[in-house]
Structure 1
């Protein structure tokens, strides 16, 4: 760990020390105490659907095919590639979900990330699904849902629906999902190394409060997984009350089968077991003195084969207060006009066109009837007569943009574009032009001849 150094030590809560002593023993607790007073390593996960060459000194993360530790922390805000969705800054322990998906060969389909903001785990699920599934990325807190939406848009795969709902609102979707991920709100003990304030705010009362909140969430989430589907539960905390006890709660309330994740002994991830309902269930704990990552706990359960399965039914006449469905003939015209391959389904919302995968259209319609939609698929833009006003969302998506000229920017020019400053050049084509950096789309300008308008979203601009 080349750039770890000791931080000024902040006193740990006495009750937390007692809890960790019981969990680890005295000798190992001293190793733990030392580790959480060191800085943590910066890590990123690369978007495999976008062209990106990692130029910083780095080392691979053992349990992730797309994750890397960086030797130093760059000024991410000033790197145009992150604004293009080429990578996501994510804590290494959380990337273990990628290993779970691939090692268990979890079937692709309709997934739900129930507490998704800011979007690290959602973008990971989106990449795993690709064009073989659809992700519902939900966040109950409105401002955090906006951050989630922005990160989903930048990731650009067009296979996600962003919703802003309480877990209770998902009641009509019992047995609907092939996988449900709940990265539960928790007491945050695993963040003590990164966040000194988390130490100050910790208390046993807060642990109990978080546990009660988690049970309320999981009492809803446990029913959402269809037969033979998977439930993934995680926290960034160490205590048993929010981890092993939640496995007991789930398996007493719902019919689930144990899942054991294959591990490399060199990863130093601690496997824990829980006996419940006559079976042995497994959890996995990440300690900062053992792994290069923050504190983390995760468990995977498989829904019993006898559980309920809800498949969406075809609606003869789809009706929605805001969405308008585009029918086949007009869809074919749009495909030809935009250079798409015919695998999409189109909707309009506030006169703007959106595209989702036609394979998951019935699932989307079912979701739209019950959820508060913040975003879905890819927003393409608006059409005025025969001219398109393309959206920024289309620009940063992986969908083709063959009908528009492109202009490659230098790093300095790209940063100025992302600051929404005027670009001084005589080399732009007339009309809409897609700005790129290292062949990564960044957004649009419109060259009117006498001036150039920068259409980068004002709320996303670099203020640094």
Structure 2
């Protein structure tokens, strides 16, 4: 049984859509939503059977029915991310604008859908800061960045105000703002009970505080992307008015295929006509969503990373470029790594982003970065789970590919009982996707899957 819609919300939507479209809208949000995933093409090109493509993305697919993702080892391997279809439109924005691959910031990043999308777009050419203000959500974000495994991201746990010293530092800033959640009324009927005009006003006030900082973080010619999962103009078009009154930005218009049924909206400002894109669930096969893009002028301020002669940090220790190259050679990695030590563990980022990373660490509370490789004991390595899930090579290790039931037992952190298991460190895979390590000591086998990640659900 569906939960009725608030009267004020009905009136708002009838005003926005008209009575005929509103009836279709109301029917749509009382139907079940479709499950969609985005493939991690750096790990796999396998598309689930019966999956259908999402029109505005090359990597997103609708599933015929929602499976138990918890009981799919490929999910734990980071082969795909369960993401709402409408928000994958960001991929179309990036590709249609051919946004240069530089330093990106996802300011409100948890749980990680948009961050992993940005990470895939940047690939080996760019670097991402994925930030989340709420500590528990930052932990979920960290886990999803680790599973995605590209090693081109830093996870931080900061309030937007903490970014003040980094004005003009980023080539792209994405803010998927906390909002009143009108677009989630289908997926989460209880959200209808939490909605009120006062809550919309409160959300808009919070968004202005966030955007008052975010708007200044984009450097010359860079892009600002603002999105919400809500329909009302107060949190959408009025935010465009606010941003353009506070900061110098140029309009950006995104090409649309009319068959997508995405509604373009126009906002008149002193700096010209700006554009927003609204996804209605009676018109598209996704949830409610709004997004807008704008660009900084070419003469806007850009903050250079500078050079830190003697890098000092309370917790991180820089490994010299010469020793970093030696580590790359030893581990069989491309000779492009810059390493840092946190306690006894080694972390690796691309050396191209060394100056940017070190500047970021001076101002942000870092929760994770690059790829944690593990600990070194004399000439041997204790490899980390993060290395197992990363796309970095794992040369010199034996590999054992498990069938599904045995892979699930491994993910439950049960010690595998396998005949002829190689001695030493063994990389466990499922359908050739790494899922973790075991160590065979001869008389016993130890499962190194992280305790806090283990599956508790039974078949």
TM-score between both structures, scaled by the size of structure 1: 0.98
SS of the residue 1:170 aligns to: helix
Q: Aligned equivalents of 1:186 and 1:260: distance in 2?
A: 24
Other-structure match for 1:143:
136
Deviation at 1:52, TM superposition (A): 4.4
Matched, 1:178 2:168: no
- Aligned mate of 2:42, from 49, 61, 80: 49
Describe how 1:425-444 pairs up with structure 2 within 5 A. Answer: 425-444=418-437
- Aligned mate of 1:288, from 277, 281, 288: 281
SS of the residue 2:347 aligns to: strand
Alpha carbons of structure 1 residues 130 and 278: separation in structure 2 relative to 1, 3 Å: closer
Deviation at 1:222, TM superposition (A): 0.1
Q: Aligned equivalents of 2:66 and 2:2: distance in 1?
A: 22
Other-structure match for 2:30:
37
Other-structure match for 1:11:
4
Other-structure match for 1:359:
352
Q: How many residues align?
A: 457
Other-structure match for 2:127:
134
Other-structure match for 2:158:
165
Other-structure match for 1:407:
400
Q: Aligned equivalents of 1:291 and 1:108: distance in 2?
A: 29
Matched, 1:335 2:328: yes
1:51 and 1:439 in contact (8 A); partners too: no
Alpha carbons of structure 1 residues 356 and 273: separation in structure 2 relative to 1, 3 Å: same
2:278 and 2:288 in contact (8 A); partners too: yes
Other-structure match for 1:98:
91
Q: Aligned equivalents of 2:142 and 2:226: distance in 1?
A: 22
Once the two structures are superposed, residues 23-77 of structure 1 have per-residue CA deviations (whole angstroms, 9 ceiling, x without a partner) of: 0011110010000000011000000100242233111000000000011111111
2:250 and 2:271 in contact (8 A); partners too: no
Matched, 1:348 2:341: yes
Deviation at 1:116, TM superposition (A): 0.1
1:189 and 1:198 in contact (8 A); partners too: yes
Describe how 1:79-118 pairs up with structure 2 within 5 A. Answer: 79-118=72-111
Q: Aligned equivalents of 1:381 and 1:367: distance in 2?
A: 23
2:325 and 2:337 in contact (8 A); partners too: no
2:244 and 2:271 in contact (8 A); partners too: no
Other-structure match for 1:20:
13
Matched, 1:398 2:391: yes
Deviation at 1:105, TM superposition (A): 0.5
- Aligned mate of 1:460, from 415, 436, 453: 453
- Aligned mate of 1:236, from 215, 218, 229: 229
Other-structure match for 1:299:
292
Question: Which segments of 5 or more consecutive residues in structure 1 lack a partner in the other structure?
Answer: 1-7
Deviation at 1:401, TM superposition (A): 0.4
Other-structure match for 1:5:
none
2:3 and 2:190 in contact (8 A); partners too: no
2:275 and 2:292 in contact (8 A); partners too: yes
Matched, 1:449 2:442: yes
Q: Aligned equivalents of 1:133 and 1:269: distance in 2?
A: 30
Matched, 1:199 2:192: yes
Q: Aligned equivalents of 1:402 and 1:12: distance in 2?
A: 57
Which moves more between the two structures, 197-206 or 52-61? 52-61
Q: Aligned equivalents of 1:116 and 1:73: distance in 2?
A: 24
1:59 and 1:69 in contact (8 A); partners too: yes
Question: Which segments of 5 or more consecutive residues in structure 2 lack a partner in the other structure?
Answer: none
SS of the residue 2:368 aligns to: strand
Once the two structures are superposed, residues 129-185 of structure 1 have per-residue CA deviations (whole angstroms, 9 ceiling, x without a partner) of: 001000000000000000000000000000000000000000000000000000000
1:117 and 1:147 in contact (8 A); partners too: yes
Other-structure match for 1:420:
413
Deviation at 1:328, TM superposition (A): 2.3
Matched, 1:71 2:64: yes
Q: Aligned equivalents of 1:417 and 1:54: distance in 2?
A: 24
SS of the residue 2:190 aligns to: helix
- Aligned mate of 2:373, from 372, 380, 386: 380
Other-structure match for 1:227:
220
SS of the residue 1:291 aligns to: coil
Q: Aligned equivalents of 1:265 and 1:54: distance in 2?
A: 26
Q: Aligned equivalents of 1:51 and 1:21: distance in 2?
A: 44
- Aligned mate of 1:318, from 286, 292, 311: 311
Q: Aligned equivalents of 2:196 and 2:296: distance in 1?
A: 34
Other-structure match for 2:182:
189
SS of the residue 2:362 aligns to: helix
Which moves more between the two structures, 48-57 or 400-409? 48-57
Other-structure match for 1:58:
51
TM-score between both structures, scaled by the size of structure 2: 0.99
